Structure 1
Amino acid sequence: MKKILMIEDDLELAEILTEYLEQFGYEIETEDDPFKALSILKLKPYDLVILDLTLPGMDGLEVCEAIRERQDIPIIISSARSDVTDKVNALELGADDYLPKPYDPRELEARISSVLRRYAAKTEAKQAQEHHSDFKLDEGAMQISYKGRALDLTNAEYGILAFMIKKEGMVVSREDIILNVNAINEDSSNKSIDVMVGRIRNKLGDKSLIESVRGIGYKLIK
């Protein structure tokens, strides 16, 4: 169950949102005091923070900055402040999303799901990178290095190799690659995937790293 801390001084709204989000299996805790909220975040683990900007005693932008300085946790701003400057500042300070009030709770749930998926993918990539030290995967720059050498990959080749790194040691089918790599058209043929994998092998300089699994697809060797 994902745990969410909602920093919101409108307790009626917080109650409505809590009741709605609990239907999706989220555990919600609400705190209307930003100072207490920051203290709680030091002591208890959460998967995501929903943060209002208009809070008693401390501006929400300051709270956002304080959270981001201490930990890497998803932050969604939920605010009635409609000034574009607030939105820009919040995102620059490390917020992952900005949802202006009023909004339908369904949109908040969709934003939460989206942000959590992004963080899960980032964590998975980081773990894969740490596990296989020969590869360095930088998703922000869309860059992969092998043994300290940056690989000159097309978008499709980058997507395929990044997917394989995340699934290292597991067999991935050609269909898996087509469905999970955004740079590849869904109408792509198995032969075109084979051609791209062949180019990746050549660029790695070690063709044995990617093993062909007959009739299925490929596996990145540990």
Structure 2
Amino acid sequence: MPNLQFYRGQIPSSPDGTSSSFFEQGKCSLHTAFTYIIHYLLTVGLETNENVFIIVLNDNPLPPQAFLEDGTAKQRLVASYKLMLDFYGIELSNDITGEVKLANNWRERFDNLERNTHNNLRITRILKCLGTLGFPHYQAPLVRFFLEQTLVKDKLYNVKESALNYFIFAVIDKQERRNIVKYAYAHYEPKHEFVWCPKTIQSIFRGETFPDDDNPIDLKQDDIDDNTASEVSDVM
């Protein structure tokens, strides 16, 4: 389990020899440790790669439970997350809820995001990693942040499609994902081109009659997952 060993501080990244503890202590920079960001930082077991340190969780060499039970690994995962957020011009404003906000360096870093669209894939990886390794409550605040920047603030044009097509559907919690889709629909124009949830749910959004205990609607919670996935695939 080399990824877990790395986060425990038992092995360095390869080939640059960077230790996870260096990043936790703020002694290193992402700009000087390219291998770290590509093969270790918040990509634990989520993508296949020629590098042997990328472990596929579905093949079970790195059971998520092993990571979840390791306090040091989880602490360093949060440190890694903060480091990546700073790289994107974002700051974790609440360690408990996962709320994020613009960092002081956001203008420079947003320019980087606009120019380098490969970062969109990395953000999707980060979201998957957070959901798998003990921080699913961090997912929705980050996705909502990107939706606000793209749909409301009219920034990060080149991130918009990834936020709608991929970031939203990386969120594990179904109610949180549902709320995010509702938020996206509320701020998306033109409304008739919104394809990221079924028309039946859009009608609920428009009528402000969202399902709850006092206002039940005969609509399965999973409908927003199954139907949206098929609709998104139709337009991609």
More strand by share: 1
| Rg (Cα) greater in structure | 1
What's the TM-score once normalised by structure 1's chain length? 0.30
